[in-house]
Amino acid sequence: MKIRSSTVTLVILSFLAVWPAFAAPNDPRDVAAVRQVVEAFRTSIVEKDKARFTRLFFSENPERVNWQFVNDDARMARFHSLKPDAKKSRYIPASNYLNFIDSVVSSAKSSEEVFSEIRIDTDGEVASVDFDYAYLEDGRQTNWGREMWHLVRTEAGWKIISVIWSIRDPAPAPRVEAPLPDPGRAR
């Protein structure tokens, strides 16, 4: 069976016409929408807004959203000195987005998660977000690390379905030595 070159050309042109629908990664509108989720997450913590925070997640049932941390090696060395059987990462059923925001809302301390180096990758239906974070309470860093999310685009917009993060202790504050008194100077 002989295929005409005009038929092949028509098939190729038809495929090329619909290709952008298949290969439109990181459409600026999707990136902007995901970035709005990141900002809503941040401001919900600062403003202690539980209702806004919980609407960012895929399910009202926190068991259906992955929420997992891993401790870095330096933090683990400190933990092992106190509890030799401590684990870098373990599943803690009570550790979920709902208990997290409840602890933020009920705390007398101010809380903020500062994000930097934000990267978003999406095909318009699923997205991943990763960034460096620093967690602050009353303006003091309690921990920092790298955080990664997975999101899905639902009828109600972008929703977080998975959050994983590393936890590093804050760097110790530099030790400030009091200047030695000048022995030649009278007091």
Phi-psi domain of 139 (left: phi exceeds 0; alpha: psi -120 through 50; beta: other): left
Tell me if 75 is assigned to some domain: yes
Q: What is the CATH number of the domain that holds 66?
A: 3.10.450.50
- Which range marks the domain in which residue 153 is found? 24-167
- Residues present in the chain in total: 187
Phi then psi for residue 62, to 5 deg, are -60, -20
Tell me if 7 is assigned to some domain: no
Tell me if 144 is assigned to some domain: yes
Q: Which of 27, 30, 34, 19 is nearest to 159 (CA)?
A: 34
Determine which helix (DSSP H) or strand (DSSP E) holds 103, and give its type and residue range: helix 97-106
How do residues 10-29 score in pLDDT, each as one tens digit?
Answer: 555 454 554 455 546 899 99
Residue range 144-169: average pLDDT?
97
Tell me if 50 is assigned to some domain: yes
Q: Please name the residues in contact with 167: beta carbons below 8 A apart, sequence gap of 6 or more.
A: 69, 70, 71, 72, 75, 143, 145
Tell me if 46 is assigned to some domain: yes
Confidence check: pLDDT of 172 > 90: no
Q: Which of residues 30 and 8 earns the better pLDDT score?
A: 30
How do residues 103-120 score in pLDDT, each as one tens digit?
Answer: 999 999 999 999 999 999
Tell me how many domains the chain contains: 1
Tell me if 32 is assigned to some domain: yes
Tell me if 161 is assigned to some domain: yes
Tell me if 178 is assigned to some domain: no
pLDDT value of position 41: 98
pLDDT value of position 170: 87
